[in-house]
């Protein structure tokens, strides 16, 4: 196929895939459109079968890891981990919305970092809704914190986000070095979010709440907590010895799955459903379509915009470009496009991309699939997401996060090195 025509076909298909992922007509899974689109770009010659196979091989371990973490998170929920978290927040907030906001920030940041942003969106958001209702507090600040912290809070670990897994593979860093470099950007970005939230939602937080009715503290599911801690340690160990961290995630999921099956708390069908196979197929197909776009001209166009080196100015430019691209075409395609272009400059440039694609999506609904999923969950709980309010909040948090986290990354790179 002519290269210009191939580029047009690839771009049109990518936009179609993203549009259907946002709208989900008739409630169809994202894969319903993405998988045929991937087949089309191969069939018409926009991407060769060999290149499509290479992309599938590159994404395979990442997708396997994601499936294992999704199962692990769902089984933790079955063990009562998130309900215990909600009980703790309601009990210790003592009727003070500002304290509840702190607790949501802590819980969402920790859960996102260890169990991925999808866990925060799908499992923690309903708990936060219930906790706010129990206290008679206005839910909006705390529920908005879930989606913002799902994105911002995912900067810390390779396992926190699918974009992180892709960046981790491209960076050449170990698990511990990745975390060491990102801990300062993670902390300052969360702090910036908190300061903005306190001011932006001041009226809601001043409205007050009430102490929860006296109730016995919910028992903490120690087995689930210990399994998660051992899994996290397994991520560090496997990375140190050169084994794919997906095996540690699989081990943690298997341990909880066996326990749940023995206790009849789940079924094999429920475990398979937790892997979100349609979403995994969507990720794989999207990767192939994006590779077709990159191969047919986008790489050259963006390559001219990416600065050389990893100085502070270069890191700012890379992060800003990544944030902009995430809001135009979604953060997952953005990271798939930018990683091959920035990896030759070293891990610092790759991590700057990660800051952009993780913080940037807090500006628009379409910035990340997690935000779209969060909006759906809010509507299911009879909540309203006002576009103008969401965007105004993002106009404060995204620039503030970028302005603080990029210098923090530069400082980490300078002090720790790669």
- List the chain domain ranges: 1-46+277-296
Task: Tell me if 9 sits within 8 A of 44, measured CB to CB.
Answer: yes
Residues 6+ apart with CB under 8 A from 399: none
Q: pLDDT tens for residues 67-108?
A: 888 898 889 888 888 888 888 888 887 778 899 999 999 999
HEC letters along 385-414: CCHHHHHHHHHHHHHHHHHHHHHHHHHHHH
- Greatest alpha-carbon span in the chain: 71
In a 10 Å sphere around its CB, with 0-12 CB exposed, 13-18 middle and 19+ buried, how is residue 98 labelled?
middle
Query: What 3-state class would DSSP assign to 383?
Result: coil
Cβ-count burial 391-416 (b if 16+ within 10 Å, e if not): eebbebbbbbbbebbbbbbbebbeee
Q: Could you give the CA distance from residue 370 to residue 347 in angstroms, rounded to a whole number? A: 25
Q: For residue 211, what pLDDT is reported?
A: 62
Tokens coding 386: 């006002």
- Predicted pLDDT at 251: 93
Nearest CA among 145, 66, 70 for reference residue 108: 145
pLDDT at 143: 93
The H-assigned helical ranges of 201-221 are 202-206
Note whether 290 and 333 are within 8 A (CB): yes
Q: What is the pLDDT of residue 379?
A: 77
Which residues of the chain fall short of a pLDDT of 70? Answer: 1-3, 208-218
The CA distance from 376 to 381, in Å, is 9
Structure tokens at 151: 């994105």
């Amino acid at each position: 196929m002519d290269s210009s025509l191939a580029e047009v076909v690839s771009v049109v298909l990518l936009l179609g895939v993203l549009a259907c992922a946002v709208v989900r007509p008739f409630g169809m899974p994202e894969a319903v459109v993405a998988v045929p689109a991937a087949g089309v770009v191969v069939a018409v010659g926009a991407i060769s079968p060999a290149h499509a196979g290479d992309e599938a091989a590159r994404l395979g371990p990442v997708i396997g890891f994601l499936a294992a973490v999704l199962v692990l998170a769902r089984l933790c929920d079955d063990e009562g981990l998130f309900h215990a978290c909600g009980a703790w927040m309601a009990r210790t907030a003592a009727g003070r919305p500002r304290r509840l906001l702190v607790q949501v920030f802590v819980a969402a940041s920790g859960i996102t970092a260890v169990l991925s942003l999808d866990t925060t969106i799908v499992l923690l958001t309903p708990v936060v809704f219930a906790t706010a209702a129990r206290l008679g507090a206005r839910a909006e600040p705390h529920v908005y914190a879930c989606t913002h912290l799902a994105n911002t809070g995912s900067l810390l670990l390779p396992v926190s986000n699918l974009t992180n897994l892709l960046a981790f593979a491209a960076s050449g860093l170990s698990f511990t070095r990745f975390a060491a470099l990102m801990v300062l950007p993670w902390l300052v970005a969360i702090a910036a979010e908190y300061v903005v939230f306190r001011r932006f939602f001041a009226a809601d937080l001043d409205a007050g709440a009430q102490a929860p009715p006296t109730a016995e503290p919910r028992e903490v599911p120690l087995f689930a907590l210990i399994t998660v801690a051992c899994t996290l340690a397994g991520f560090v160990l496997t990375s140190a010895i050169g084994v794919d961290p997906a095996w540690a995630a699989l081990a943690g999921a298997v341990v909880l799955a066996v326990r749940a099956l023995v206790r009849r708390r789940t079924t094999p069908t429920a475990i398979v459903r937790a892997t979100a196979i349609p979403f995994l197929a969507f990720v794989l197909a999207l990767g192939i379509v994006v590779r077709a776009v990159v191969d047919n001209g986008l790489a050259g166009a963006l390559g001219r915009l990416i600065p050389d080196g990893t100085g502070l100015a270069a890191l700012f430019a890379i992060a800003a470009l990544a944030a902009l691209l995430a809001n135009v075409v979604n953060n997952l395609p953005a990271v798939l496009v930018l990683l091959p272009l920035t990896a030759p400059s070293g891990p610092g440039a790759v991590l700057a991309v990660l800051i952009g694609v993780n913080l940037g999506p807090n500006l628009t609904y379409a910035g990340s699939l997690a935000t779209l999923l969060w909006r759906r969950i809010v509507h299911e709980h009879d909540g309203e997401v006002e576009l103008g309010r969401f965007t105004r909040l993002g106009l404060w948090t995204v620039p503030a996060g970028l302005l603080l986290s990029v210098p923090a990354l530069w400082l980490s790179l300078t002090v720790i090195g790669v």
